[in-house]
Chain A
Amino acid sequence: MRRKSELTNYLFILPILVLFAVFIVYPIVYNFIISFFEWSGFGPDITFVGLENYVTILNGKIIWKVMHNFIIFALITITLQALFGMIFASFFINNIRGSSVYRILFYLPAVVTPAIIGQVFSKFFEANRGYLNTFLRALHLDPLAQTWLADPSLALYCICFVNIWQWTGYSMLLYYASMLNIPSDLYESASLDGANKAQQFTRVTFPLLRGTHFTVFILGMLGSLKCYDIVFILTNGGPNYATETFSVYIQNLSFSMFRQGQSATVVVIMFIIAMVITAVQLQLYYRSNQHKELAR
């Protein structure tokens, strides 16, 4: 009877398991297998090359440039998005005048098509007649007018800027929703104990947003890993791989170089990085016994 009941339970989840296997597990396994082959991605000639693709990719300069860009991009965007998101959420939670309108305005960039954002900011950063440099020159700040997206030392930070502009509203919304769930009597108690606003934020609000910090961090990390659209439109990974990301590198290997095997290798590397980050995240998150209980 019990066995029949268990079987029935499995039958209920079978459809989703099949979908998961077909659309998630199979592509991952297939990609892993392809990483051991030399293949154009669409032709009939496919040759087993063992670990040669891994050796080629890891011995090349581009993958290390990509990893460097990923670390810089992730650290800057996650930190600043979280910081600004928290600050803006703090303002809105205190019901400043017009906060409902501002919340919408802050969130709007997150829903705009990346292609549109890319086109607008490419005009913004253009060196000769772009909006930014034109503005700076109008203020007689010519030395500050740079070649932005064409400068390898600045291009990545320009992309970080665009990303922060686009996604801070999303972080703000996550923090705002979490802050709504913090009981107000905690602030009353803190106030009675003599805590000022800053102390209430650091001793009450910030610690209780722990779950949201991890959420913002994990989403930010995975988003940085997958970052493609803005980079493709603004710089296509240039100049000279200064803004190359995993996704752009994979796309170039697959569709420009016709090296599906090497492209699959980069995907495997990306997958390993994502798994390590997620595992470390979860380990830190569940370090506290309280959260382990909640997870049960």
Chain B
Amino acid sequence: MRKSICMALVFCMLFALIPMAFAAEDEPVTISFQTWNPGDGDLIHQIIDAFEAENPSITIDYIYMPYSDHIADMQIKMASGEGPDVYGMQAGVTYSTFRPFEENLTPYITETYGDGWESSFLTFCTNLLNEDGSYYGLPLGLTYAGLIWADMSYFNKYGLSLPTNYDELAQVAQTFRDNGEYPLAIGAKDDWINIDMWMNIAGDINAEKLYAALDGEISFTDPELLQSFAIWQSLFTEGIVQDGALGVNMYCDTTDLFEKEASIPMITNGSWAAGLFVSTDESTKANFQGEGADHQAFLLDWNNDGVSAGLAASIDVVLCMNTNCKNKDAAWKFIDFMIHYGQDVLINEGLQYFPSRTDLVLDVVGLNENGLENLEFIIENAQNNTRGYREMGNADVKQAVADALKALATNEMTPEEAAESIDNAQ
């Protein structure tokens, strides 16, 4: 009798567990998603709303942070065992530094996309993210650095043409200065734009040597690399960039002048500036989408050898999953959604990146003729004129380059001293 009662109780408990097992799958979960990019705007909320509509049991807690705060915040949270479930990471130093907290996504990727999935992403992306056959993040989109953007109304006003080489740039800059305008604008307080521009210069002179030096295979004292430092220095000593460039940052001290105020003729920036042609900000919209608006992205022949510089490519945002995430399946669902639907929206409605997926058809909504012209220019150069990667993988070298570029700009170092200081950091 007693044994029968016990058996009955066991069966009751088993039956009670069955609904719980099913309930666990549908149990509401919240996935936290922290990133600096995509920023807190209509598009990301549109994407999140679409995901939540498709997955009613998953709520996305989106946390936006400016980049520098994002990295510092992530460090503290990860160290305390917390941190967001899904987060954005920049390819390069941070992607490798945060490795202990990046879930190996390879099993999820192969299960969802099958064998041969690599062909659905650009080779550049898979090569960059591949760590001995494992992937700890997926690329949300690509960006390209090294462009200069021009407001043609200024060039037309003073009867100038877009410069094609360094000498023409110097002449154009002087003409603008003589007329009380800004020459080439750069927010040189920010290391990243300085590195972008210098890599563009060095890549134009000899891309092979540039990347060999960054990889520690040759010295930075190579004459062609010294030439790149000298050209970079001359941008400041010859007044080709604006006075006080080292005292202002890109976002938003310098970019606002170009994007919102339309008060400067030229600015150094990257392919992400193409998003201005579909911006919803009223001032930017008026400047870039208004009647007669004419802006041109261009590349320069820095060493006057008849060949213009190329672009440097980077994965702007790598989506990673926290190893401490308690709902990994749900987190993976969100990453997958972001890589597909999210990327489609962010690119074709916001032009925030360029595709990392090979199957993504570029069909940007609301682009005017001028925007289309610039988009085609960027795509053509992205496909045929990319010289290498943008993000350095060695933090010491990156910092040494950043310091050297600022010292060159303030004339506190010669190109030889700059090269030596970077070599010492290898």
Residues of A within 8 A of B (CB): 40-45, 122, 125-128, 147-152, 155, 235-236, 238-241, 251, 254-258
Residue from B242, B248, B407, B409 with most neighbouring chain A CB atoms (10 Å): B248
Asked if A235 and B247 make an inter-chain contact with CB atoms under 8 angstroms apart, the answer reads: yes
Q: Select which of A44, A147, A148, A150 is within 8 A of B100 by beta carbon.
A: A44
B189 interface residue per 8 A CB criterion:
yes
Q: Select which of A147, A251, A254, A256 is within 8 A of B247 by beta carbon.
A: A147
Give 28 pairs: A residue, B residue, CB < 8 Å, sorted on A. Answer: A42-B75, A42-B78, A42-B100, A43-B97, A45-B100, A122-B247, A122-B248, A125-B247, A126-B253, A127-B243, A128-B242, A149-B246, A149-B247, A150-B243, A235-B189, A236-B189, A238-B246, A239-B410, A240-B409, A240-B410, A240-B412, A241-B403, A255-B71, A257-B395, A257-B396, A257-B399, A258-B97, A258-B395
Closest to A258 in B: B97
B72 interface residue per 8 A CB criterion:
yes
Q: A42-B75, A148-B247 are in contact. Are A122 and B395 (CB under 8 A)?
A: no
Distance between Cα atoms of A155 and B248 in the complex (Å): 12
Distance between Cα atoms of A155 and B101 in the complex (Å): 39
Q: A42-B78, A255-B72 are in contact. Are A147 and B244 (CB under 8 A)?
A: yes
Distance between Cα atoms of A147 and B409 in the complex (Å): 13
Q: Select which of A126, A239, A254 is within 8 A of B406 by beta carbon.
A: A239
Chain B: interface size category: 20 to 34
Asked if B247 and A127 make an inter-chain contact with CB atoms under 8 angstroms apart, the answer reads: yes
Asked if B71 and A152 make an inter-chain contact with CB atoms under 8 angstroms apart, the answer reads: no
Distance between Cα atoms of A151 and B71 in the complex (Å): 29
Closest to A43 in B: B100
Residues of chain A within 8 A (CB-CB) of B248 are: 122, 126, 150
Q: Select which of A128, A150, A256 is within 8 A of B246 by beta carbon.
A: A150
B63 interface residue per 8 A CB criterion:
no
Shortest 5 CB-CB contacts between residues of A and residues of B? A127-B244, A150-B247, A149-B247, A42-B79, A150-B246
Distance between Cα atoms of A148 and B410 in the complex (Å): 13
Distance between Cα atoms of A38 and B71 in the complex (Å): 19
Asked if B75 and A128 make an inter-chain contact with CB atoms under 8 angstroms apart, the answer reads: no
Asked if B243 and A147 make an inter-chain contact with CB atoms under 8 angstroms apart, the answer reads: yes
Residues of chain B within 8 A (CB-CB) of A241 are: 403
B29 interface residue per 8 A CB criterion:
no
**Shortest distance between the CB of B291 and any CB in chain A (Å):** 27
Given contacts A42-B75, A126-B248, A127-B247, 5 further A-B contacts (CB under 8 A): A152-B410, A240-B409, A256-B71, A257-B395, A258-B395
Q: Secondary structure of the B side of the interface? A: helix
B70-101 vs A: 1/0 string, CB under 8 Å?
A: 01100110110000000000000100010111
Residues of chain B within 8 A (CB-CB) of A236 are: 189
Asked if A122 and B97 make an inter-chain contact with CB atoms under 8 angstroms apart, the answer reads: no
Distance between Cα atoms of A92 and B403 in the complex (Å): 48
Q: Select which of A40, A41, A126 is within 8 A of B244 by beta carbon.
A: A126
Asked if B244 and A152 make an inter-chain contact with CB atoms under 8 angstroms apart, the answer reads: no
Residue from B68, B99, B246 with most neighbouring chain A CB atoms (10 Å): B246
B326-352 vs A: 1/0 string, CB under 8 Å?
A: 000000000000000000000000000
Closest to A44 in B: B100
Interface residues of B in 383-426 (CB under 8 A from A): 395-396, 399, 403, 406-407, 409-410, 412
Closest to A40 in B: B97
Residues of chain B within 8 A (CB-CB) of A255 are: 68, 71-72, 75
Residues of chain A within 8 A (CB-CB) of B246 are: 147, 149-150, 238-239
**Shortest distance between the CB of A155 and any CB in chain B (Å):** 8
**Shortest distance between the CB of B420 and any CB in chain A (Å):** 13
Residues of chain A within 8 A (CB-CB) of B182 are: 128
**Shortest distance between the CB of A15 and any CB in chain B (Å):** 25
Distance between Cα atoms of A127 and B243 in the complex (Å): 6
B245 interface residue per 8 A CB criterion:
yes
Residues of chain A within 8 A (CB-CB) of B403 are: 240-241
Q: Select which of B75, B76, B101, B189 is within 8 A of A238 by beta carbon.
A: B189
Residues of chain A within 8 A (CB-CB) of B409 are: 239-240
Residues of chain B within 8 A (CB-CB) of A238 are: 189, 246, 406
Q: Select which of B245, B395, B412 is within 8 A of A152 by beta carbon.
A: B412
Residues of chain B within 8 A (CB-CB) of A125 are: 247
Distance between Cα atoms of A149 and B71 in the complex (Å): 26
Q: A44-B100, A122-B253, A128-B182 are in contact. Are A239 and B75 (CB under 8 A)?
A: no
Q: A42-B76, A42-B78, A238-B189 are in contact. Are A128 and B243 (CB under 8 A)?
A: yes
Residue from A125, A155, A238, A255 with most neighbouring chain B CB atoms (10 Å): A238
